Structure 1
Amino acid sequence: PGNAASGEGRGIFYQRPSLQAEDAERVRGTPRRRFDPRRLPLGLTQVVGHTRDKRVRELVSPGPVRDGVLRHLVTDGTRVDYAHGPPPETGAGEAVMVFTDGAMREGRAEDFELFDLDARRAVPLEGR
């Protein structure tokens, strides 16, 4: 999130959501990879492959960590919902992130899911 006056997110779009107070202070002056997901542009769906479930769980939503699976974050600018699986149907008043980094180095190949952009659903790797 950003603009010419206050700066833009790093990388191609946004990478690592965080609701931690110390991150809010760090990114206020200079944009970094971490951002407050409540500031995502509403109506935008972004697929990002940079951030593992473990990291998002640490920064946004504590819960069980799973390697290999797709995950999503949906916000309306106030609430932030993060869960395993592809995103539900959403509207123009919500921003969506789909996380595709399944931790290939750490996870098992048979657990890994890909994201079908047309169908907006998870598909397993071939040969399972």
Structure 2
Amino acid sequence: MMLTRRIMLAGMAVFAARAVLAAPALRLLMVRRRGCVYCAQWDREIAPVYAEHPEGKAAPLMVVDRDGPYPDGLALARRPWLTPTFILLSGGAEVTRFEGYPGAEKFFPVLRDMLALAR
């Protein structure tokens, strides 16, 4: 009986660990293009602090050029044409996006609203 209980508990622990690992991870995809002045502004104002910000930790950044290549398996609502475009991904699927750079004061509040949609 004791051995059976241990096996059941071990099985439940493995199941719980797999469920956590299988949960779709959030990522922020930044689509940019060479020569984009707003992308360069974002690089100066946000890039140095992004990874340390709570929102940056919740949705690690992935950067791609507007013309690709894009990571395999992405499910986007439509192809981005304006740069920068920020697309919140959950498990590779688009949750929401915003196009353009709203400035340093508004960037993280907008991203916070996007993250709230993913929960």
Q: Which structure is higher in RCO with an 8 Å CA cutoff and minimum separation 6?
A: 2
Task: Flag the structure with larger Rg.
Answer: 2
> What TM-score do you get using the length of structure 1 for normalisation?
0.26
Q: In proportion to residue count, which structure has more helix? A: 2
> What TM-score do you get using the length of structure 2 for normalisation?
0.27
